[in-house]
Chains A and B, each alone.
Chain A
Amino acid sequence: MSAVYKKELKSWFVSPMGYVIVAFFFAIVGLYFTIYNLQNQYPWFGVGLENTAFVLMIIVPLITMRMMADERRQKTDQLLYTAPVKITDIVLGKYFAVVTVFAIPMLVFLFYPLILLGFGKPAASLAMDYVAIAGYFLLGAASLAVGFYVSAVTENQVLAAVLSFGLLLLSYFSTSLAAIIPSDPVSSLIGVAIVICLLAVLIYIMTKNLLLAAGVGLGLEAVLAVIFLLRRSLLQGLINRIIAVLGMPDRLNNLVYGELDLTVVVYYLSVIFLFLFLSVQAIYKRRWS
């Protein structure tokens, strides 16, 4: 893993890409810091930081789009996959390298709240800002995992960028989306049925196993139908909850306002784990096609 990690990290900074990413975060967060904290004398750094969460949606696809797609285009994946290294190590090495690049501006942001101390910010509120920065870092890391996965499954960079942007956009708006969808049991029935169909299609795309996909799909639909017939009230608002689960940026809220909510931390770590796991599976699967 360390070989791939070192090589990747170096390659980010051999090209201008690494510097551009770091500079981009300095510029955007610096702008919000200036307006919120310095000009309007707002004491909490985390709030301004949270407001920049939308830029992750734009920059993460640009960072991750080339990560696996480029290896395939240059055929260097043949070197990686025929070397005596586990696929998991390759994926982790690449992922940790990009997370390291993202961590650089985050480390620098650790000093920003200290600047505010000079303007009379109470020292006791520092912890709140640091929890917010850690949360923002986790959100970024989770978004990078999503982008990385998309890069691992798509053939070209532009497609990878567009798809990851679409996924992150959905994640960004999912809480608002959940709020406008009707929450009565019938709407939930229809909504969840569609989600199950999508899941079945996804399983088929991942495994190319029609029997498995159809089995899981039909099984879940049957369970859904039984619940609808027997305990209709259980479906109240179900689809809204399912959609809300996708909302990664909104979870940051809890952390920003000072609460060290471990469920949020676990949520982000689970997203990271899930998408890295899926990336490894996608690469294994590619060998069979």
Chain B
Amino acid sequence: MIKIEHLTKKYGDHVAVDDLNIELAPGKIYGFLGPNGAGKSTTMNIMTGYLAATEGTVTVNGFDIFEEPEKAKSCIGYLPELPPLYMDMTPREYLSFVADLKKVDRRKKKLMVEEIMQETGITEVANRLIRNLSKGYRQRVGIAQALIGFPPVLILDEPTVGLDPNQIMEVRELIRRLGSQHTIILSSHILSEISAVCDYVWIINKGRLVAADTPENLSVNMNQNVYYTISVKGEEAAIGGLLQGVEAVRSFTTLEKEKDTVRLRIEADQAHTGLEEELFYLFADHRMPILSSTKEEHSLEEVFMAFTAETKEGEDEA
């Protein structure tokens, strides 16, 4: 669908994108994750033909974006970081203009505009000036604009930035729905968004791809250990003694002591299953009730921090 090979973009001496290689399969939602200034927007701008690359190629549906730009661009719907809206137009006029620009068949145009406005929920503001619309509606008009012509690929740069929580949920829902008919790439620096919507994640830092996998795999592969936080009623020393006897427990630390309750964090072998049950019976036998027990899930947040920190260290050494 889209193939990016050895993509490099330099601004003078500053390398914004550094030898990026990515391939997209059709029908999936891809997430571009990275801190601000990691090169996400630059990459997207190159993929859509807005910027030229210093080196490397981008092919969309077999068309090179630099060699056959019109053909490649007609396969892509793009929502830039700031929706490219004409303030003195109404959404209906604007979408009709975009349809003309994308050479949509005159006879299908009207129906398509109405259908897309329905889909993105902007029908009720269709005749108001874009200037007077709220940020949320403007963003939706921006998404509607990308949808015009029903291109097979949608590239959305931070589609939920600046929206309120309700609108964020709506836009995510919309993206998920669109994912069934389009290949979608969306960028974000918000991790929960990526894990909520995307099938596949690229983590990019300082213009380089540092990780690429499904959100689940990224979390799993992070670490061989799992962590539990438990609260136990009993003496700290006695609890410690018992835990030392459990084979799967690698280490533990006391987090907090409160009257007769102790809260601990346990590091355990991931391969060992049923540890919680084992601990339950162990402490129950010694009449030290476990009051609470939670397993820590690796959030994408940690993965992200780990990956982006790694490259920083690597650079320091170099």
A interface, CB within 8 angstroms of B: 2-4, 6-7, 11, 14-15, 74-86, 287-289
Contact = CB atoms under 8 A, between A and B. Distances in A.
Contacts of B169: none
A78 B70 contact: no
29 contacts: A3-B97, A3-B100, A6-B100, A7-B86, A7-B97, A7-B100, A11-B88, A14-B89, A74-B85, A74-B86, A75-B84, A76-B85, A78-B50, A78-B80, A78-B82, A78-B84, A79-B101, A79-B145, A80-B101, A81-B49, A81-B50, A82-B49, A82-B73, A82-B76, A83-B73, A84-B74, A84-B103, A288-B52, A289-B11
A282 to B, nearest CB: 14
Nearest to A90: B101
A85 B49 CA distance: 11
Contacts of B203: none
Given A4-B101, A7-B97, A84 B88 contact: no
Contacts of A84: 69-71, 73-74, 102-103
B52 A287 contact: yes
A39 to B, nearest CB: 42
Given A78-B78, A79-B101, A86-B70, A287 B51 contact: yes
Contacts of A287: 50-52
Nearest to B76: A82
Contacts of B84: 74-79
Contacts of B87: 74
Instruction: List the 8 closest A-B pairs by CB distance, nearest first.
Output: A3-B100, A79-B84, A84-B74, A82-B48, A84-B73, A287-B52, A76-B84, A78-B80
A281 to B, nearest CB: 13
Nearest to A288: B52
A284 to B, nearest CB: 8
B98 interface: yes
Given A74-B84, A84-B70, A84-B71, A79 B49 contact: no
Given A2-B100, A14-B88, A78-B45, 17 more contacts: A3-B101, A6-B97, A14-B89, A74-B84, A75-B84, A76-B86, A78-B84, A79-B80, A79-B84, A79-B101, A79-B145, A80-B101, A82-B48, A82-B73, A84-B69, A84-B74, A288-B52
Contact of B82 (A7, A11, A75, A288): A75
A3 B74 CA distance: 15
B88 A15 contact: yes
Nearest to A83: B101
Contacts of A15: 88
A2 B103 CA distance: 10
- From A15, A75, A83, residue with most partner B Cβ within 10 Å: A83
Interface in B81-114: 82, 84-89, 97-98, 100-103
B51 to A, nearest CB: 5
A7 B52 CA distance: 27
A83 B102 contact: yes
Contacts of A2: 100
A233 B100 CA distance: 59
Contacts of A288: 52
Contacts of B50: 78, 81-82, 287
Nearest to A85: B101
A41 B190 CA distance: 76
B296 to A, nearest CB: 42
